[in-house]
Amino acid sequence: METRSIMIVGVGGQGSLLASRLLGNVLLAQGCDVKVSEVHGMSQRGGSVVTYVRYGDKVYSPVIEKGEADAVISFELLEAARCLPYLKREGKLITSTQQIDPMPVITGAAEYPADLAAKLKEKCADVVAVDALALAEQAGSAKASNVVLMGVFAARAGFPAELWQKAIEQCVPERFLELNKKAFELGLSA
């Protein structure tokens, strides 16, 4: 199998770590070679956070570069727009419609671009925009929008459903298990 590349992007604190762990575990259970790469430290403090997931028979680089991603999963609209150049021309973009103002917008030095979802659809043929925050709240916590989006991705990725269930059980603490399973289901059928 040729190496495939998936980017998970969002704002520090949105839970990209859990999302990439879920995906990594599913891929590992499939018998793939897998690399997951993230950057810790300074960037985590409310900055843009990017995680690369690559899998195939043999994966070398842990990093995804412009024009290489088969899919981008974004937890925030502006971050989806920022990462568009990483997507292959025929790649899939899954994004939450949630908007979080970055500091330059908060201070008034810049404006949050309007109608981003529509503009992304003009540039990319395969955009799935979901109100993941609303679905997460429906599942019981605004913090579960990461798992909602993984559900949205899973519905389109073609990996066996039981692997996702198992990955959630492996990665999520017992007391949050039901909440996250529900969030995943809501994403799956979104």
Q: What are 102's two structure tokens? A: 């970055």
Q: Name the segment binding other proteins (CB under 8 A); options: 32-40, 146-154, 156-164, 175-183.
A: 32-40
Report if residue 121 touches other proteins, rule: CB under 8 A.
Answer: no
CA 82 to chain centre: 14
For residue 105, the one-letter residue type is V
HSE value, Cβ hemisphere, 13 Å, CA-based, for 109: 4
Q: Are 54 and 66 spatial neighbours (Cβ–Cβ below 8 Å)?
A: no
Cβ 181 to other proteins shortest distance, Å: 22
Site for other proteins in 85-104 (CB under 8 A): 85-89, 101-104
Task: Select 130 or 133, whichever has its Cβ closest to other proteins.
Answer: 133
Size of the site for other proteins (CB under 8 A): 59
Report if residue 37 touches other proteins, rule: CB under 8 A.
Answer: yes
Q: What is the Cα–Cα distance from 30 to 34, expressed in whole angstroms?
A: 10
Cβ 92 to other proteins shortest distance, Å: 14
Taking alpha carbons only, the member of 114, 63, 118, 67 closest to residue 95 is 118
| Torsion-angle region of 115 (φ positive above 0: left; ψ -120 to 50: alpha; else: beta) | left
Task: Select 106 or 177, whichever has its Cβ closest to other proteins.
Answer: 106
Site for other proteins in 59-88 (CB under 8 A): 59-63, 65-68, 78-79, 81-82, 84-88
Q: What are 184's two structure tokens? A: 């995943």
Report if residue 169 touches other proteins, rule: CB under 8 A.
Answer: no
Report if residue 179 touches other proteins, rule: CB under 8 A.
Answer: no
Residue corresponding to tokens 């995680």: 51
Name the residues that contact other proteins, by CB under 8 A: 11-12, 24-25, 28, 33-48, 59-63, 65-68, 78-79, 81-82, 84-89, 101-113, 116, 119-120, 123-124, 142
